[in-house]
């Protein structure tokens, strides 16, 4: 199926919707918009693209040049195991992500990963504080209240998990969300664990929904020089934790 003509579709046993609950563009990130034609189902794999496809938004009086694939699962979910298998996209200054966020407010948000390509189109980076974490694939957790001015985050963090190129190999990205801990694993290896009860009690109050998206960073080519990229997600699984 090339280009979904509908806002809602079935994939991997779940209903998904194109775009985000807040609409097809974020008013604070107008360099990209959520483009249905950037979503494709191919051999039961979900393909999320970035592509040059300008669209004018009169309510913002701006033209957004890059159409990106973003989908969310509208089910209200809680504790359990969330997992995808995926090949990350190739291209300059890309920003693919797999995350959960609350229905009722923002934050909380659990970023299973946010990945960033550099100007050469790969995920390599160097940070002397984490010399073995040479892939720019980061976890993070946002919590607190934006409206109350208590929004915080534990901070993006990269951890070594593979010698394989995530642009060329299928990798497994997993979140274990339990009442007393969060565990994030890449290819079965633990890369981050959160046990802080203040953070967990804040997150555990909310139903969450899943978001999968491809995106671009500020330094990406935002004109017709942008080369279409593809974030290829081969599997999705959710296993509910017994209540």
Instruction: State pLDDT tens for residues 148-195.
Output: 788 899 999 888 788 899 999 999 999 999 999 999 999 999 999 999
> Which residues are 134's β-sheet partners?
none
d(CA 140, CA 39): 26
User: Coil, helix or strand for 36?
Assistant: helix
Q: According to DSSP H, which parts of the chain are helical?
A: 197-203
| Mean pLDDT, residues 187-206 taken together | 96
DSSP3 helix / strand / coil % (the chain, rounded to 5):
5, 50, 45
Mean pLDDT, the chain, rounded, equals: 92
Q: What is the pLDDT of residue 128?
A: 58
User: Coil, helix or strand for 136?
Assistant: coil
> Which residues are 194's β-sheet partners?
182
The domain limits of the chain are 16-240
Residue reference for tokens 């599997």:
235
Q: What is the pLDDT of residue 148?
A: 77
Side-chain-side CA neighbours of 117 within 13 Å: the count stands at 24
The band of 13, judged by pLDDT with boundaries at 50, 70 and 90, is: very high
d(CA 230, CA 243): 37
The band of 199, judged by pLDDT with boundaries at 50, 70 and 90, is: very high
d(CA 75, CA 212): 14
Contact 200, 180 (CB under 8 A): yes
Higher pLDDT, 160 or 66: 66
Asked if residue 24 has pLDDT above 90, the reply is: yes
Give the number of other CB atoms < 10 A from CB of residue 194.
Answer: 18
Percentage of residues of the chain with pLDDT beyond 90: 81
| Mean pLDDT, residues 218-237 taken together | 96
Lowest mean pLDDT among 116-120, 131-135, 155-159, 203-207: 131-135
User: Coil, helix or strand for 202?
Assistant: helix
| Mean pLDDT, residues 89-94 taken together | 97
User: What fold characterizes domain 16-240?
Assistant: Jelly Rolls (2.60.120)
d(CA 63, CA 30): 8
């Amino acid at each position: 199926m090339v280009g979904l003509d509908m806002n809602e579709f079935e994939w991997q046993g779940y209903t998904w919707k194109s775009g985000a609950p807040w609409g097809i563009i974020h008013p604070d990130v107008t360099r990209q918009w959520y483009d249905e034609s950037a979503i494709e189902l191919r051999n039961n794999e979900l393909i999320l693209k970035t592509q040059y496809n300008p669209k004018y938004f009169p309510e913002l009086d701006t033209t957004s040049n890059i159409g990106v694939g973003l989908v969310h699962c509208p089910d209200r979910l809680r504790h359990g195991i969330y997992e995808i298998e995926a090949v990350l996209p190739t291209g300059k200054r890309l920003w693919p992500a797999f995350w959960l966020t609350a229905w009722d407010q923002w934050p909380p948000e659990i970023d299973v990963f946010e990945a960033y390509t550099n100007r050469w189109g790969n995920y390599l980076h160097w940070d002397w504080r984490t010399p073995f974490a040479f892939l720019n694939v980061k976890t993070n957790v946002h919590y607190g209240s934006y409206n109350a001015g208590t929004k915080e985050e534990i901070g993006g963090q990269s951890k070594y998990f593979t010698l394989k190129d995530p642009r060329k190999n299928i990798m497994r990205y997993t979140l274990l969300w339990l009442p007393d801990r969060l565990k994030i694993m890449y290819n079965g290896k633990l890369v981050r664990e959160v046990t802080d009860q203040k953070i967990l009690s804040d997150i555990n109050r909310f139903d969450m929904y899943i978001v999968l998206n491809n995106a671009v960073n500020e330094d990406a080519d935002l004109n017709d020089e942008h080369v279409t990229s593809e974030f290829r997600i081969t599997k999705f699984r959710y296993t509910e934790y017994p209540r």
